[in-house]
Amino acid sequence: MKLQNKVAVVTGAGSGMGRAIAELYAREGAKVVVADLNQANIDTVVESIVASGGEAVGVTANVAKDADVTAMVETAVRTFGSIDVLVNNAGIMDNFVPVADVTDELWERVLGVNLYGPFYACRAALKHMVGQESGGVIINNASVGGLFGARGGSSYVTSKHGVIGLTKSIAATYGRDGKIRCNAIAPGAVNTNIGSTITAPHPLGLAAQNDTGPARTGDPMDIARVALFLASDDAGFVNGDVVKVDGGWTAR
């Protein structure tokens, strides 16, 4: 039980990687706040956790809204007494649209979810974590798109580069006493619902994705296991890092 009695908040927890993380955390002893936009998905995940003997509550939250994110964190503290682990997992893609064709609306929507959301959540969580004797752990789900220029469109790539910068800033600033850790995961191609948001890929942006991919598409549990390691004491000396989980895609 690597997370016994820890309180974890997971965004985008209604499906895909977020659901896998939430359910694995619960099996490892965490009390989980399942945050998502879709109430039906929230209910399904909470019911699954409770049916397996775990503890969980659901929160409907649009992470692009500061008020929703603040309420999400306060729900964790009010319900379970603390926030020990924050996983910023919620994210959207951008149809690979390159800079010259990005609209203000697309830019603001993608950065709102992918960058502003993690910022809002980190800010709200840190206000509690810095006062806790046990500190806390933040895990930001970035992307290999945060390390390279052609693993998504310009809005997506920019947002994920920003998430990695946010991660390193928090680790460097708040991790000096060893009580607060902040790391990022950079998944490659993973079989989740996010792919369904690619409805009309831009031909120029898509042409830049011509690298040979990994031998297989990742499974959400591949990411969840890394998120468990980073949240646990096993990663007690890991701070400010970006862990690529991409099946060797970027090694090619």
CA dist list (Å): 171 to 175, 187, 237: 5, 20, 11
CA distance 122 to 39: 23
CA distance 146 to 227: 17
Catalytic residue among 25, 120, 156, 174: 156
CA distance 48 to 205: 39
CA distance 184 to 3: 19
Based on the residue annotation, tell me whether 120 is a catalytic residue of this protein: no
Identify whether the C-beta of residue 180 lies closer than 8 Å to the C-beta of residue 130: yes
Tokens 């990695």 appear where? 164
Please, how many CA atoms are within 13 Å of residue 59, restricted to the half-sphere of its CB? 27
Residues acting as catalytic residues: 156
